[in-house]
Amino acid sequence: MRHGRGRFVAGFLAAPLAVYLIFMIWPYVQTLMYSFTSWGGFSNEAPFAGLDNYRQLLSDDTFQAALLHNVFFLVALPLVTILLALFFAFLLNVGGRGNRAGVRGVFGSSVYKVIFFFPQVLSVAIIVILWDALYRTDGQGLINFLLIKLHLVDPNHPLQFVNDPTPFLGVPKVLWWILIVVVWANVGFYLVLFSAAMQSISKDIYEAAMLDGATRVHTFFRITLPLLRDSVSVAWVYIGFVALDMFVWIFALTPQQGGPNHASEVFATVLWREAFTRGQFGYACAMGVAMAIFTLILGAIQLTATRRERIEL
Amino acid sequence: MTTVSDTASTSAITPAPGERIGLRRPGRGERGGVLNVFSHAILVCWGLMVALPLLWAVMSAFKTDAEIVRDPIGLPDGLHWENFTTAWTTGHIGDLFLNTVIVMAGGVAGTMLLGAMAAYVLARYDFPGNRAIYYLFIAGLTLPIFLAIVPLYKVVANIGASFPWLGLNSYLMLVIVYIAFSLPFTVFFLHSFFRTLPTEIAEAAIMDGATHTKLFFKVMLPMAKPGLISIGIFNVIGQWNQWLLPTVLMQPQSGGEEKHAMLAQGLIELMVNQGYQGDYGALFAGTTMAMLPILIVYVSFQRQVQAGLTGATLK
């Protein structure tokens, strides 16, 4: 039984590990190495530049504005998505008619779930094209057209959506419009996630609570929500990754891929422009490293926060 | 995370006017009656917000451009199939589909095979360096793709200089890159899955003289089928949605070379380059053709897709 064991282990690990190291780990390691050079990207020469790129980052206004925009998404996106998803999951599971204990779906809840889940299976490209058309600024887009018909919007001044850099609550309006699209695209998934978690809770708990006279709504807030804690924190991490990225949404939906006039730049769009438009690969790599450090710090905060929660329990 | 859950529960109370109603009506039969109507009203609203834009795109695909501009919400005055012809010929939707299917077939199959092999060995065999390799895979979970995109482009270009069939714009290269970037989650998920499988059957198979390789393919893989389906669906959707990797890597290297663009990449290029400037009908037709097959597949397998995706996330 022992013979051939070592060879088997090595044989099975060789291919996955090789692919992973060459095409994933090696590029990340190179990002770190190039961040100390002024590599232009197209030559094979990468003159050593020490910490110059990092010093430049500290005085780069566009980069710092982009960082703030990522922070905006990092706060707003999980908050809105999770609240909406929980709310819909509550309505789907608790709103049901009848007097049986426990979580029971409303009539047609599986139909609702199928439809709500649509954006998750559509390619991001399709969602972007749809919303680009919905957000048309000339009165012919679906949203402007309907609002003008309802006399909610002046036909001479239709909504400018992603062309609008003026601030709302201290954040350029274009970012709020993008937020709506990304929430629209993500809510369905987390709703199904929370719904599945709710249905896996044992019915006995509900029956006991009902015997003690608890109402359906009571049981939701006293039993269901606390037991969803784990799912909610998983969701928070996943949406956090979306908020740190945001690349495709900003790149494809906003004018000048981060405009108007840099009002909607995020980390990823600035990095992209430095690398592929301006040929500043070394500098772009330094941005990548800064981003990775930022992500790691967030991860550490997340870990300590969860650990504290466990002790409390 | 504490603050997070607290805000979540406090704010979730506010949008529930049904709560007060529910408390006032303890009668068994009608409990939840008003809440029920209220639920359906809100749920139908959100359902319409999701479905109407999709229906609108399909409807607009049958309109002429003049109609779309004149009356965006009216029904088409006739079925203008020529939009679909335009999208198919100038937008190369057919080629995009074929390219995507080729790369995804290779990418998902390769991810499943290599991911299962690595996860199995790491989960069931003890050897020096096991933990280190496992954590190396897990580390990939935390790194966003675009951090590595610049050097990745360079790595692929350099390999392509010696082996053109593995360089930029090659199907095989993209398949391998997809595999590399799908491995962390696949290994992470299947690792925990292989750990839960019972050891008795494996021991019995070894007693009967099965080799380790045979044990894996004949015994362990079939036992891991539910996990494989979950992670398989997860990878299908992930690679189907992938846009950044093909956009950077699938670039023709000489003027005469045909670009092997993926569907997501091709559609966004159409939009950004405004190749269809003024030709919204054809853009909607292209979108419709890209959208309907995946929606049909999803609706047919919706239970498996929902369970698979959410199951994979919660592991």
> Considering only CB atoms, which chain B residues are within 8 Å of A268?
144, 146
Closest CA to A240 of A56, A117, A81, A107: A81
Closest CA in chain B for residue A96:
B36
Higher-confidence position of B35 and A250: A250
pLDDT in tens, A45-88: 777 877 888 888 888 888 888 989 999 999 999 999 999 999 88
Are B159 and B205 found together in one domain? yes
In chain A, what are the domain boundaries?
50-312
Are B138 and B70 found together in one domain? no
pLDDT in tens, B131-169: 999 989 888 877 778 778 888 888 898 888 888 888 888
- Identify the CATH number of the domain in which residue B252 sits: 1.10.3720.10
Domain range holding B18?
2-84
| DSSP letter for each residue of B191-203 | HHHHHHS-SHHHH
Are B70 and B121 found together in one domain? no
CB contact under 8 A, B32 and A4: no
Task: Report the number of secondary-structure helices (H) and strands (E) in chain A.
Answer: 16, 2
pLDDT in tens, B271-281: 766 544 667 77
- Between the alpha carbon of residue B85 and those of residues A33, B287, B289, the distances in Å are 49, 13, 11
Question: What pLDDT is recorded for position B32?
Answer: 54
Question: What pLDDT is recorded for position B102?
Answer: 92
> Considering only CB atoms, which chain B residues are within 8 Å of A145?
72-73
CB contact under 8 A, A146 and B73: yes
Of B60, B84, B108, which residue sits at a domain end? B84
Which tokens hold the place of A258? 């981060």
> Considering only CB atoms, which chain A residues are within 8 Å of B310?
189, 192-193, 196
Are B236 and B107 found together in one domain? yes
Q: Is the pLDDT of residue B23 over 80?
A: no
> What does the pLDDT average to over B277-287?
78
Question: What pLDDT is recorded for position B9?
Answer: 39
* CB atoms closer than 10 angstroms to residue B101: 13
Distance CA(A301)–CA(A229), nearest Å, equals 18
Q: What is the mean pLDDT of chain A?
A: 82
> Considering only CB atoms, which chain A residues are within 8 Å of B7?
79
Distance CA(B60)–CA(B41), nearest Å, equals 27
Are B259 and B114 found together in one domain? yes
> Considering only CB atoms, which chain B residues are within 8 Å of A8?
121, 125, 211-213
CB contact under 8 A, B12 and A90: yes
In-domain check, residue B303 = no
Distance CA(A132)–CA(A255), nearest Å, equals 11
Tell me how far the alpha carbon of residue A38 is from its chain's centroid.
32
Distance CA(A206)–CA(B174), nearest Å, equals 50
Phi, psi of A160 (to 5 degrees): -95, -5
> What does the pLDDT average to over B78-97?
81
Are B96 and B79 found together in one domain? no
Q: Are B182 and B115 in contact (CB under 8 A)?
A: yes
- What is the Cβ-side half-sphere exposure of residue B151, based on CA atoms within 13 angstroms? 25
Q: Which residues contact B103 (CB under 8 A, 6 or more apart)?
A: B171, B174, B175, B178, B239, B246, B262
pLDDT in tens, B170-223: 899 999 999 999 999 899 889 888 888 888 888 888 888 888 888 888 888 888
In-domain check, residue B310 = no
Distance CA(B244)–CA(A181), nearest Å, equals 19
For chain B positions 70-99, those within 8 Å of chain A (CB to CB) are: 72-73
Nearest Cβ partner for B29 among A99, A231, A275: A99
Residue B269, Cβ density class (10 Å: 0-12 exposed, 13-18 middle, ≥19 buried):
middle
pLDDT in tens, B39-59: 888 889 999 999 988 998 888
Distance CA(A137)–CA(A174), nearest Å, equals 12
Q: Is A168 helix (H, G, I), strand (E, B) or coil?
A: strand
Q: Is B258 helix (H, G, I), strand (E, B) or coil?
A: coil
DSSP state of A105: P
For chain B positions 48-67, those within 8 Å of chain A (CB to CB) are: 49-51, 53-54, 56-57, 60
Beta bridge partners of A172: A167
Of B47, B68, B84, which residue sits at a domain end? B84
Question: What pLDDT is recorded for position A96?
Answer: 52
Question: What pLDDT is recorded for position A105?
Answer: 63
Are B167 and B80 found together in one domain? no
Fold category of A50-312 in CATH: MetI-like fold (1.10.3720)
Q: Is the pLDDT of residue B21 over 50?
A: no
Question: What pLDDT is recorded for position A104?
Answer: 58
Q: Are B117 and A16 in contact (CB under 8 A)?
A: yes
Q: Is the pLDDT of residue B109 over 90?
A: yes
Distance CA(A200)–CA(A235), nearest Å, equals 17
CB contact under 8 A, A122 and B29: no
Which tokens hold the place of A12? 């099975």
Closest CA to B5 of A90, A227, A296, A91: A227
Distance CA(B171)–CA(B164), nearest Å, equals 11
CB contact under 8 A, A16 and B307: no
Nearest Cβ partner for A19 among B114, B127, B216: B114
Q: Is A48 helix (H, G, I), strand (E, B) or coil?
A: strand
Are B184 and B103 found together in one domain? yes
Distance CA(A265)–CA(A279), nearest Å, equals 18
CB contact under 8 A, B22 and A215: yes
Geometric angle at alpha carbon A264, from A262 and A269, rounded to 5°: 80
Distance CA(A276)–CA(A269), nearest Å, equals 10
Query: Peptide bond preceding B252: is omega within 30 degrees of 0, i.e. cis?
Result: no
Of B63, B84, B105, which residue sits at a domain end? B84
Nearest Cβ partner for B148 among A31, A78, A90: A31
In-domain check, residue B314 = no
Q: Are A130 and B287 in contact (CB under 8 A)?
A: yes
How many residues comprise chain A? 313
What is the ipTM, given to two decimal places?
Answer: 0.80
Question: What pLDDT is recorded for position A220?
Answer: 77
Closest CA in chain A for residue B5:
A229
Closest CA to B29 of A128, A100, A103: A100
> Considering only CB atoms, which chain B residues are within 8 Å of A31?
147-148, 150-151
Give the A:B interface size as CB pairs under 8 Å.
319
Q: Is B291 helix (H, G, I), strand (E, B) or coil?
A: helix
Closest CA to B83 of B288, B290, B271: B288
In-domain check, residue B279 = no
- State whether residue B199 sits within 8 Å of chain A by CB: no
CB contact under 8 A, A99 and B72: no
Number of domains comprising chain B: 2
- State whether residue B148 sits within 8 Å of chain A by CB: yes
Q: What region does A105 belong to: left with phi over 0, alpha with psi -120 to 50, or beta?
A: beta
In-domain check, residue B213 = yes
Are B235 and B147 found together in one domain? yes
Q: Which residues contact B2 (CB under 8 A, 6 or more apart)?
A: A305, A308, A309, A312
Are B107 and B64 found together in one domain? no
Nearest Cβ partner for A20 among B180, B212, B272: B180
> Considering only CB atoms, which chain A residues are within 8 Å of B12?
83, 86-87, 90, 221, 225
Question: What pLDDT is recorded for position B104?
Answer: 92
How confident is the prediction along chain A (313 residues), in pLDDT tens digits per residue? 455 788 888 889 999 999 999 999 998 888 888 888 888 766 677 778 778 888 888 888 888 889 899 999 999 999 999 999 998 888 887 655 444 444 456 777 788 888 888 888 888 888 988 898 888 877 777 788 888 888 777 777 777 787 777 777 878 888 999 999 999 999 988 988 888 888 777 777 877 887 888 777 787 788 888 888 888 888 888 888 888 888 888 988 888 777 787 888 888 889 888 888 888 888 888 888 888 888 888 877 877 776 555 444 3
In-domain check, residue B281 = no
Question: What pLDDT is recorded for position B145?
Answer: 81
In-domain check, residue B288 = no
Distance CA(A274)–CA(B240), nearest Å, equals 28
* A260-269, A287-296, B77-86, B233-242: range with lowest mean pLDDT: B77-86
> Computed from CA positions of residues A106, A107, A111, A115, in that sequence, does the dihedral angle turn out positive or negative?
negative
